[in-house]
Chain A
């Protein structure tokens, strides 16, 4: 299998009615046995450059609605870069250029008519290290609704904050100290606070960039539980270094290696029956 085949765009194969090529060049084996599940994000020919250095090569991936998609791969493989393309956070990095199409509900997010500010209200993000603002717990969650004018009155804002904290599974722990600094919470609580902050603006997609890598196993278990609940309402894309976590929480898994998407498909299939030897090597721990 040579380099050229890997760089070949995926469009032909994924276009409606196009037959799968005889040679197995890739990659996206869909996300579930049920082919009818809606696709929320459709990425095609995504190339990303940091200055002269190319970080992603012709990535094509379908992300299903109301499901968890895990992006796995060794460090530096481009999975976080891909994640940050979806809400255009790469715009904030000087010298970073993104080429290719990433469609959210059929609309190209890189289109000039798309305002990244509006896009990011639809596509929330949770970072590796919990980053609550140095404000109170209430103000942290109220931040998004305030800047987007989602609440018309104090009561409505309070309702949004409460329901977001409840959905993030944090309400019971912080209900009596909403007006204390969010930075005073434990790491796991902070991460759930940040998730509550993200869902307070009712996004359609939540991107999570290694959300548990700074947490202990108990906090991790709570976040994973939360992710599992949230997938009923949101399309979730999670970058993780933990294969076990990918296997536990995701329905679809995409394996990245050296800036290329090697293989993607239903999580069960990727873990039990990887088609590419590199995927096999990675999930069995032979490299990465």
Chain B
């Protein structure tokens, strides 16, 4: 509450200083912007920034880290009764102190004698500290704002380079934003690598990458020795690969050909209709594709195969017929086909961009030679666009490999080494989901395996994306 009031006051204050600084510099310049180095607004902004920004930063920092500061200060010199407790009990005690101080639900521990006295003393201290931090930070912010304004106002004269200074602030803001994004990425990758290292400590890397058995059920209690768990990821890679291939068999031709139609053949009207429709397809959440696969496509495929099996039954292909009659709703084919449908707009809009970036001059050159439109597409446009189309396909592959929802709902959970598209398979992403959902212990190899899989996935998609973007870049340079 106090934070918000302080921030609002700062905004109003710096707005006032903006106006004041403009007035001051205009008066000093004799009212003519010609006599100033920068436009009057820059002088205003310069002073307003010094008035508002450091103070606001201080208030925000106090709001974010004030609690921790309070906590740390409370623990300095704990009462004797508390000091002899175990660290876990101390933790409970200090949690209760904070809860009491903030009138929140405390734990059900009952404190008596010296402990109760300690609790009361610390609670009072916590209240004091909280008020001190809150009001102290606001007071410090006020001092900071006033001194900032004082110094900044003294500096501005008509020949002061206010524009350069303000642009420096803006550039700094941009740098902070981009650094935030980079640091976040570094943090995510770092935690992935760190947890994976812990996993590879328990399960050797070669067993993980080359092992052919995946059975992550591991003893939860020390007296269970029955299941040791197997962490060979090859069946998962195989399942991922199989589904990716099926998806690309669906998405690559349909996406590419629709891109060719859109960019080379479609008139203005059909383009105006088809392109947004494809984009709607791209906007369908993958979970919707997931239940479309599980509830619609799966049963249709299964009943189709059952009917085929019945038709073949008793004939020379009897064993095939029996097999077809046994297939389930969940199969690689269903997940792959639906994932392929999901990727169509992705492939087609990327390919469309790439085909459109083939210079019109090449098409004109070919048409003017007496080539038909399809000859032009086949012999000039597509070869010219080929590197870019390859890159688009690689990006689609990396999406297929990382796709989770559809396979979770439609591919199954059994880790099998198979290339049979009618079988249930499981993928890397599905296993990550199953390993990390539900109650988990975060130091068993079972959960850590998710990080190992995640790291593998990250490396693969990262490499695919880098290769694809390299190709696209190289290809763009050719024509720009």
- Among B354-382, those with CB < 8 Å from A are 359, 361-372, 375, 379-380
Identify 14 new A-B residue pairs, CB closer than 8 A, beyond the known A127-B368, A143-B379. Answer: A89-B367, A94-B267, A117-B371, A118-B370, A131-B361, A131-B362, A131-B364, A132-B365, A133-B362, A134-B362, A134-B383, A147-B370, A197-B369, A201-B370
Q: Which residues of A are interface residues toward B (Cβ below 8 A)?
A: 87, 89, 92, 94, 117-122, 124-125, 127, 129, 131-135, 143-144, 147-148, 183, 194, 197-198, 201
How far does the Cβ of B389 sit from chain A's closest Cβ, in whole Å? 14
B268 touches A147 (CB 8 A): no
B84 lies within 8 A of chain A by Cβ? no
B361 touches A127 (CB 8 A): yes
A134 touches B369 (CB 8 A): no
A194 touches B370 (CB 8 A): no
Interface of B is mostly: helix
What are 7 A-B contacts with C-beta separation under 8 Å?
A117-B371, A127-B361, A127-B365, A129-B361, A131-B359, A143-B366, A143-B369
B365 touches A131 (CB 8 A): yes
A133 touches B364 (CB 8 A): no
A124 touches B369 (CB 8 A): yes
B105 lies within 8 A of chain A by Cβ? no
How far does the Cβ of B264 sit from chain A's closest Cβ, in whole Å? 11
B383 touches A117 (CB 8 A): no
- Report the interface size for chain B: residues with CB under 8 A from the other chain: 21
B109 lies within 8 A of chain A by Cβ? no
B384 lies within 8 A of chain A by Cβ? yes
A134 touches B478 (CB 8 A): yes
Residue interface mask B241-285, A partner, CB < 8 A = 1: 000000000000000000000000001100000000000000000
Complex interface: chain B residues within 8 A of A144 (CB): 369-371
Residue of B nearest to A119 (CB): B370
Complex interface: chain A residues within 8 A of B362 (CB): 131, 133-134
A124 touches B368 (CB 8 A): yes
In this complex, the member of B267, B361, B367, B372 whose beta carbon has the largest number of chain A beta carbons within 10 angstroms is B367
Minimum-distance CB pairs A-B, first 4: A121-B370, A125-B368, A131-B361, A120-B370
Kindly state the separation between the CA atoms of A194 and B478 in the bound complex, as whole angstroms.
18
A117 touches B361 (CB 8 A): no
B375 touches A147 (CB 8 A): yes
A89 touches B364 (CB 8 A): yes
Complex interface: chain B residues within 8 A of A131 (CB): 359, 361-362, 364-365
B478 touches A94 (CB 8 A): no
B370 touches A117 (CB 8 A): yes
Residue of B nearest to A140 (CB): B365
Complex interface: chain A residues within 8 A of B368 (CB): 87, 89, 120, 124-125, 127, 198
A133 touches B370 (CB 8 A): no
Kindly state the separation between the CA atoms of A122 and B267 in the bound complex, as whole angstroms.
28
B372 touches A133 (CB 8 A): no
Complex interface: chain B residues within 8 A of A94 (CB): 267-268
